[in-house]
């Protein structure tokens, strides 16, 4: 588990085993197979049967696999729940996790054996490295929280524009009064190494005297919007932010949070690329046809209560590292050997070799995996030398972002 950061938050996890083909295992219709998290602090020798039999199991993970669910040649998956993911992280000791797979421990009368054999990726019956047992993890890390304050605030009515005041509603003639906010993203880390994962807008109301059915919407708009009433009313809306809020709700809850949805977060990430300004408009609406002289004000100057854009972000590289160099195929002891030179980029995590006998691999998953790691060669131990094929070498970082492949074509000799 060395590649898992110390502050990782595991979101999804699964343990996968491949029931091996062409072996004389016998599966009767009884019993179940479980996978347990082992307490490494109390366990003995994992190659000693008595020690393995007496291992302390912290908890079992995933749903049990019943005998009728086991079929040779079909992957079996144990998917972890949220609490199991937490315990999985806690059970890491010295960058290692130990799992125990156990099946039925007793034979029924008239049965001679009840056993499933799993592929370990090599050996007499192994299908290759891509069939090894695998623990698949999807994780994130604790985000950094940044609080941004508006660089400008305006209240825009049909007759005037007022700076540093937040008021929205309807004037004495029934025309809408808007408030606008502009923020700058320059204080956030560089786009190429940062991913915004969550964002929300905070507003605090101050004067609520109305009983009318007025609702307020926060809109994410183009940052080039002008302060004129005409431009505000003809604005281009990128996306509504969060749910609208009524004047009656503001009486009961002074603080309102407008949460960004996934589309708004994508746009916010794009805005980060140029460290550009971003703008918002607070718009009033009502189901009543005519409402006059009804407004709501929000705090604009008190640091604790003024508008805030709260952004959570994590360090995450967006672009892949450089490709490998000097890639070539050579024959060594009757086997095909792939060699290359790794890039010197400090974010380089490894190189992944994919083999495909039918076409040039289009992605890092398009074919049979031969190797992934920091070495600069690998042998195709199971590859036939009398068949044409393609090898693709991808570099990757810890995200992982995969580079464009270096393609090597092997011609049968």
pLDDT of residue 26: 67
- The answer to whether residues 86 and 32 belong to one domain is yes
The DSSP call for residue 334 is T
> Is residue 320 domain-resident?
no
pLDDT of residue 25: 63
> What is the reported pTM?
0.78
Residue 17 pLDDT > 90: yes
- The answer to whether residues 57 and 93 belong to one domain is yes
- The answer to whether residues 305 and 171 belong to one domain is yes
Cβ atoms of 392 and 353 closer than 8 Å: yes
From 337, 215, 345, 361, select the one nearest 288 (Cα to Cα): 215
Measured CA to CA in angstroms, residue 324 lies from 55, 157, 321 at distances of 44, 60, 9
The DSSP call for residue 129 is G
Written as one string, the DSSP assignment of 148-195 is: E--SEEEEE-SS-EEET-EEEEE-TTS-EEEEEEEEE-TTSPPGGGEE
pLDDT band for position 124 (50/70/90)?
Answer: confident
> Is residue 15 domain-resident?
yes
380 alpha-carbon distance from chain centroid = 33
pLDDT mean over 280-292: 86
Q: Which domain holds residue 341?
A: 325-410
pLDDT of residue 45: 94
- The answer to whether residues 119 and 244 belong to one domain is no
Q: Specify the 3-state DSSP secondary structure of 59.
A: strand
Residue 119 pLDDT > 70: yes
Q: Count how many domains the chain has.
A: 3
- The answer to whether residues 161 and 132 belong to one domain is no
Q: Which of 141, 169, 196 is the last residue of a domain?
A: 141
Task: Please report which helix (H) or strand (E) contains residue 405, including its range.
Answer: none
Cβ atoms of 26 and 103 closer than 8 Å: no
- The answer to whether residues 265 and 176 belong to one domain is yes
* Alpha-helical regions (H) of 253-355: 262-273
Task: Please report which helix (H) or strand (E) contains residue 68, including its range.
Answer: none
CATH number, position 309: 2.60.120
- The answer to whether residues 310 and 347 belong to one domain is no
- The answer to whether residues 186 and 136 belong to one domain is no
- The answer to whether residues 196 and 246 belong to one domain is yes
Q: Which of 275, 295, 315 is the last residue of a domain?
A: 315
- The answer to whether residues 159 and 293 belong to one domain is yes
Q: Which of 249, 283, 315 is the last residue of a domain?
A: 315
For the stretch 44-89, pLDDT in tens is: 999 999 999 999 999 999 999 888 888 777 899 999 999 999 999 9
- The answer to whether residues 162 and 307 belong to one domain is yes
Q: How far apart are CA 294 and CA 225, in angstroms?
A: 25
CATH number, position 383: 2.60.40.10
For the stretch 146-202, pLDDT in tens is: 999 999 999 999 999 999 999 998 999 989 999 999 999 999 999 999 999 999 999
> Is residue 3 domain-resident?
no
């Amino acid at each position: 588990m060395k590649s898992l950061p110390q502050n990782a938050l595991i979101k999804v996890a699964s343990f996968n085993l491949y029931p091996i083909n062409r072996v004389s295992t016998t599966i009767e219709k009884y019993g179940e197979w479980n996978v347990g998290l082992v307490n490494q602090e109390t366990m003995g020798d994992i190659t000693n049967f008595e020690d393995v039999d007496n291992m302390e199991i912290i908890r079992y993970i995933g749903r049990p696999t019943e005998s009728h669910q086991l079929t040779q040649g079909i992957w079996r998956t144990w998917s972890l729940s949220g609490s199991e993911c937490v315990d999985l992280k806690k059970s890491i000791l010295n960058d290692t996790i130990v799992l125990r797979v156990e099946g039925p421990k007793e034979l029924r009368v008239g049965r001679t054996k009840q056993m499933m054999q799993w592929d370990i990726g090599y050996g007499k019956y192994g299908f290759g490295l891509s069939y090894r047992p695998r623990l698949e993890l999807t994780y994130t890390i604790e985000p950094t929280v940044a609080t941004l304050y508006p660089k400008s605030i305006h209240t825009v009515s049909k007759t005037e524009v007022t700076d540093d005041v937040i008021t929205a509603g309807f004037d004495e003639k029934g025309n809408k009064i808007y408030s606008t906010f502009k923020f700058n993203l320059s204080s956030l880390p560089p786009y190429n190494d940062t991913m915004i994962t969550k964002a929300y807008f905070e507003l605090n109301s101050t004067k609520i005297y109305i009983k009318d059915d007025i609702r307020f919407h926060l809109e994410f708009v183009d940052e080039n919007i002008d302060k004129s009433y005409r431009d505000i009313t003809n604005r281009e809306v990128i996306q509504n932010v969060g749910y609208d809020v009524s004047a009656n709700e503001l009486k009961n809850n002074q603080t309102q949070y407008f949460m960004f949805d996934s589309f708004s977060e994508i746009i916010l990430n794009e805005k980060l690329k140029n460290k550009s300004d971003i703008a918002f408009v607070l718009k009033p609406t009502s189901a009543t046809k005519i409402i006059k002289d009804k407004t709501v004000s929000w705090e604009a100057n008190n640091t604790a209560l003024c508008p805030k854009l709260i952004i959570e972000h994590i360090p995450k590289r967006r672009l892949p590292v450089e490709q490998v160099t000097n890639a070539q195929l050579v024959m060594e002891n009757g086997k095909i050997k792939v060699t290359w030179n790794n890039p010197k980029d400090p974010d380089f995590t490894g190189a992944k070799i994919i083999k495909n006998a039918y076409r040039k691999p289009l992605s890092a998953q398009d074919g049979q995996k031969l190797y992934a790691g920091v070495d600069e060669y690998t042998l195709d131990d199971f590859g036939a030398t009398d068949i044409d094929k393609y090898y693709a070498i991808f570099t990757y970082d810890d995200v992982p972002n995969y580079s464009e492949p270096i393609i090597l074509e092997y011609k049968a000799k």
